[in-house]
Structure 1
Amino acid sequence: MLTGKQKRFLRKKAHSLKPVFQIGKAGVTDNLIKQTADALEARELIKINILQNSMEDKHSAAETLAAEADASVVQIIGNTIILYKESSENKTIELPS
């Protein structure tokens, strides 16, 4: 579980990132979950954009992706989800305590 200080730090780092994935009308699929987990292992911090034609609720989509990829939801703002997971091999982000 991330603390408030850690979430602020991650939001600041994620500000300049571009969305890596988009959730469309197909919603959260198994393929999207696998790709999200792989991207989190490589990058640790990613943005995911939810398109207008998606029937998926942004909060349920964020919770599903976070649970399946074993990640933490940093923020849901507008139609953008920010996820963080500490990488086991490519650790680059040092969280404040």
Structure 2
Amino acid sequence: MNLSTKQKQYLKGLAHNLKPVVLMGANGLTEAVVAEIEIALNHHELIKVKVASEDRDTKQLIVEAIIRETEAEKVQVIGKTLVLYRPSEDRKIEIPRK
């Protein structure tokens, strides 16, 4: 699933007031963290994840791994906060068509 620019803008607007639901600790990206992200995506569809990494390259690798493992779409990354979207079976969020 590829989101258009218009769809990403819409999701950014919805995500603006959200608080991060998953906070990554000092242990980095563990199976438990991925499992929590999966649970949050299934429940909310649109979530924020706080990525704990000072190094920009390491943070980028973590973001790519999260996207690969969860099969979610990256909406945006601002600072240490990653916004993810993955539609659930019952589609809670209606995004505009491309």
Aligned residues: 96
Rounded to whole Å, the distance in 1 between the matches of 2:74 and 2:54 is 22
Moved over 6 A (4+): 53-56
TM-superposition CA deviations, 1:14-49 (whole Å, max 9, x none): 000000111222111011111111110110000011
- Unpaired runs of at least 5, structure 2: none
Provide the alpha-carbon RMSD of the alignment. Answer: 1.9
Query: What TM-score do you get using the length of structure 2 for normalisation?
Result: 0.88
Q: Which runs of 5+ in 1 are unaligned?
A: none
Using the alignment, how far apart are the partners of 2:54 and 2:23 within structure 1? 11
Tell me the distance in 2 between the aligned counterparts of 1:55 and 1:25: 15
Letter in 1 for 2:87: E
Asked if structure 2 preserves the Cα contact closer than 8 Å seen for 1:23 and 1:48, the reply is yes
- Helix, strand or coil for the counterpart of 1:65? helix
TM-score by length of 1: 0.89
Is 1:9 the counterpart of 2:10 in the alignment? yes
**What fraction of aligned residue pairs are identical, expressed as a percent?**
36
Residue in structure 1 matched with residue 95 of structure 2 by the alignment: 95
What is the match of residue 60 of structure 2?
59
Displacement, 1:60?
1.4
SS at match of 1:47: strand
Q: Distance in 1 between matches of 2:25 and 2:9?
A: 28
